A and B are shown apart, each in its own frame.
Chain A
Amino acid sequence: MSSQHEHTAAENHAHRQEGPRNHYISFALSIILTILAFAGVVYGGLDRGFVLAFIVILAIVQAVFQMVYWMHMKDRGHLYPIMFIVMGAVIAGIAVFTAVYWMWW
């Protein structure tokens, strides 16, 4: 129907050349981050607050990485997806903050 969002052939061509290498790297990184998180918990002796902060940060890094590469957020034309996912994450963060600050602590 409408043709306002049509991509040009050149862009599409560039996109097709993207190999699986990035995805293998993402996978390896995810595994490493996961192992680090498990290791941080299993091999104790570390300060509890530090471990909690450490694993939560690792989770956020891994989530962002997977979204950017595996869900193609780095590609062109993802302005609205990024906008809406960030907004959703912010509101989810507010809910979790509420629970941590007013109920769990």
Chain B
Amino acid sequence: MAHAHKVKQYRGVMDWLTTVDHKKIGILYLAAAAFFFLVGGLEAVLIRVQLMYPEQNIFVGEAFNQLVTMHGTTMIFFAAMPAIFGFMNVAVPLQIGARDVAYPYVNALSFWLFLAGGVLMNTSWFLGGAPDAGWTAYAPLSTTAYSGFGMDFYVLGLQIAGIGTLIGAINFLVTIINMRAPGMTFMRMPLFTWTAFITSVLLLFAFPAFTVALVELMFDRIFSGNFFEASKGGNVVLWQHLFWIFGHPEVYVLILPAFGIISEVVSVFSRKRLFGYSSMVFATILIGFLSFMVWVHHMFTTGMGPVANSIFAVGTMAIAVPTGIKIFNWLFTLWGGSITFNTASLWGISFIPAFVVGGMTGVMLAAPPADFQYQDSYFVVAHFHYVIVGGVVLGLFSGVYYWWPKMFGRLLNETLGKLHFWTFFIGFNLTFFPQHFLGLMGMPRRVFTYLPGQGLEEGNFISTIGAGLMGIGMLFFLINIIITSVKPRTATNDPWDARTLEWAISSPAPEYNFKQTPLIRGLDAFWKEKTAGNKEMTPAEPLGPIHMPSSSIMPVVMSIGFFISGFGFMYKVYWVAILGLVGALLVMLWRSLYDDHGRHIEVEELQDEGVKA
């Protein structure tokens, strides 16, 4: 079956621009996420600097609003989400024994669209001011009557990134449904893959609602539409409904993969199989389902009446049940295990108490009468930072330390890793724990200053110190990356004595992932083989040539098309907008007309690499 298609192999920067290899795309996602995490973190530090003492005048009014808006939007859409997609790319195909994702080309497109959206939104800093209506962009605050040009960047940046997210979700769903290795039944999938699956389902059904909301805001802002214009019959509460029908599942999009990472890490470093695997899967599905049924709890104070508020309060509290199942399962996994406290497991295990704090305040906020008091105070800020930093970020860092050897073939330095962990974890608690009390004392969120003599000074000061400490923690992390990257690639296939399939192949994984598709004989597939005395997975097929997709620059070109189109719409130069869209359509046409034959890696090459390893 030797097909001698001459396929151009790129090197250097061009290799990264044209790659369709999910492992490289995963690294691109993580690098972009790290960049935006630092940008969003800088914005957070600036917010805390302004609030360090009462009545400061460093970032006042609009500047403060821009910082708050961009911090939230950047962290959620351009730091946490791509980090999650990064790990999905790095781990999911390997965990299910697949050679590739279902659509490698679409996978690249999904990354470049996300990056185009992120860059477009951040150019607003240099082009007349960033978005300033909060990351929730409530109408009419976000319409032209009350906010500046910056909101156009929000609308179009998120729209472009959103297309990328949607096709990325479809890609992972199809990969998981259609491309599992023989024997890899759904109930044998590692929990991270399960959470990636449910997260993709949530993205698939939540993002279209946001797309429509953004389209409506765009039409109102750019074409003088009337969706949110009350004098013409528009309805501002409509935005809140659409935003939160998307926004609440979005929160679970972030946290579920973190749950997945924790499940892997806790199980590996306790040297036990995950306690209650089936109930974990069930809880994940239930959380995913309930996430679409509770959005109104963000809107208790909009006056929908006691019946609606009560129903959604009960629904929200119900989420505590599957989440509690997960917490107890992790605790029972740790119970009686021989626990290794390295950096990955420290991040992973500290997730549990931090997330419980955030979960508890969540149940408090779910009670409507109490929520009327907490609404828009720092109590809410403390709550969602405990779930997002204490949950998502701790989980993601755990994943970074856990999968780093599989991505780069090098282990991160443990000492620096632990310094990173402790400064970040202590800093996180110092920053956000006092904010609970600040909120209960009445400090409103998104307000740029406060008066002295109201008991708010100490809490805000401690909070700012904590934010600085988190920043120092990130410096340790950056130093760690630099030091590690100059070391030789010494990581073994399986440095953690782990349980899932990705550790059965070399670190970093070869571009074709599995020389022979493995046969899966149970949950924790690799562990099962190891306990049977095998060093490798049992192959499910004879050694044969492997078909690989060709690299392509087209995803970048298409994303640039959307990027240009975005600017055309913002500056109301419609021929540019149409030109960009036509460019994107032409790329689609090109892709349809010219079939990608790909190339084959021949058996001899595979055997050569085997000798080298």
Physical contact A–B (CB less than 8 Å) = yes
Is there an interface contact between B241 and A94, defined as CB atoms closer than 8 Å? no
> Shortest beta-carbon distance, B216 to chain A, in Å?
13
**Inter-chain contact total with CB atoms closer than 8 Å:** 34
Is there an interface contact between B292 and A99, defined as CB atoms closer than 8 Å? no
Q: Which residues of B from 275 to 296 have beta carbons under 8 Å from A?
A: 292-293
Q: Which residues of A contact B613 (CB under 8 A)?
A: none
Q: Which residues of A from 32 to 78 have beta carbons under 8 Å from B?
A: none
Instruction: Kindly state the separation between the CA atoms of A61 and B245 in the bound complex, as whole angstroms.
Output: 27
Instruction: Say whether B513 faces chain A, with CB atoms less than 8 Å apart.
Output: no
Instruction: Say whether B178 faces chain A, with CB atoms less than 8 Å apart.
Output: yes
Number of interface residues of B (CB under 8 A): 21
Q: Which residues of A contact B99 (CB under 8 A)?
A: 1
Instruction: Kindly state the separation between the CA atoms of A102 and B240 in the bound complex, as whole angstroms.
Output: 12
Is there an interface contact between A94 and B304, defined as CB atoms closer than 8 Å? no
Instruction: Say whether A95 faces chain B, with CB atoms less than 8 Å apart.
Output: yes
Is there an interface contact between B237 and A94, defined as CB atoms closer than 8 Å? no
Instruction: Say whether B238 faces chain A, with CB atoms less than 8 Å apart.
Output: yes
Instruction: Say whether A17 faces chain B, with CB atoms less than 8 Å apart.
Output: no
Could you say which of A5, A80, A95 contacts B209, with CB atoms under 8 Å apart?
Answer: A95
Q: Which residues of B contact A94 (CB under 8 A)?
A: 245, 292-293
Instruction: Say whether A103 faces chain B, with CB atoms less than 8 Å apart.
Output: yes
Instruction: Say whether B141 faces chain A, with CB atoms less than 8 Å apart.
Output: no
Contact with A along B214-238 (1 / 0, CB 8 A): 0000000000000000000001011
Number of interface residues of A (CB under 8 A): 15
Chain B, Cβ-Cβ closest to A80: B177
Is there an interface contact between A87 and B241, defined as CB atoms closer than 8 Å? no
Q: Which residues of B contact A22 (CB under 8 A)?
A: none
Q: Which residues of B contact A1 (CB under 8 A)?
A: 99, 547
Could you say which of B241, B308, B547 contacts A99, with CB atoms under 8 Å apart?
Answer: B241
Instruction: Kindly state the separation between the CA atoms of A5 and B292 in the bound complex, as whole angstroms.
Output: 32
Q: Which residues of A contact B241 (CB under 8 A)?
A: 95, 98-99, 102-103
Instruction: Say whether B182 faces chain A, with CB atoms less than 8 Å apart.
Output: yes
Is there an interface contact between A87 and B304, defined as CB atoms closer than 8 Å? no
Instruction: Say whether A8 faces chain B, with CB atoms less than 8 Å apart.
Output: no
Contact with B along A1-22 (1 / 0, CB 8 A): 1101100000000000000000
Instruction: Label chain A's interface by main secondary structure.
Output: helix
Is there an interface contact between B205 and A95, defined as CB atoms closer than 8 Å? no
Is there an interface contact between A102 and B304, defined as CB atoms closer than 8 Å? yes
Instruction: Say whether B63 faces chain A, with CB atoms less than 8 Å apart.
Output: no
Is there an interface contact between A98 and B201, defined as CB atoms closer than 8 Å? no
Instruction: Say whether B179 faces chain A, with CB atoms less than 8 Å apart.
Output: yes
Instruction: Say whether A91 faces chain B, with CB atoms less than 8 Å apart.
Output: yes
Instruction: Kindly state the separation between the CA atoms of A72 and B547 in the bound complex, as whole angstroms.
Output: 31
Given A1-B547, A94-B245, A103-B235, A87 and B177 touching (CB < 8 A)? no
Is there an interface contact between B182 and A4, defined as CB atoms closer than 8 Å? yes
> Shortest beta-carbon distance, B61 to chain A, in Å?
33
Instruction: Kindly state the separation between the CA atoms of A2 and B237 in the bound complex, as whole angstroms.
Output: 50
Instruction: Kindly state the separation between the CA atoms of A84 and B205 in the bound complex, as whole angstroms.
Output: 9
A residues lining the B interface (CB < 8 Å): 1-2, 4-5, 80, 84, 87-88, 91, 94-95, 98-99, 102-103
B residues lining the A interface (CB < 8 Å): 99, 177-179, 182, 201, 204-205, 209, 235, 237-238, 241-242, 245, 292-293, 304, 308, 517, 547
- Apart from the given pairs A1-B547, A4-B182, 10 other A-B contacts in the complex at a CB distance below 8 Å: A87-B201, A94-B292, A95-B209, A95-B241, A98-B241, A99-B238, A102-B308, A103-B235, A103-B238, A103-B241
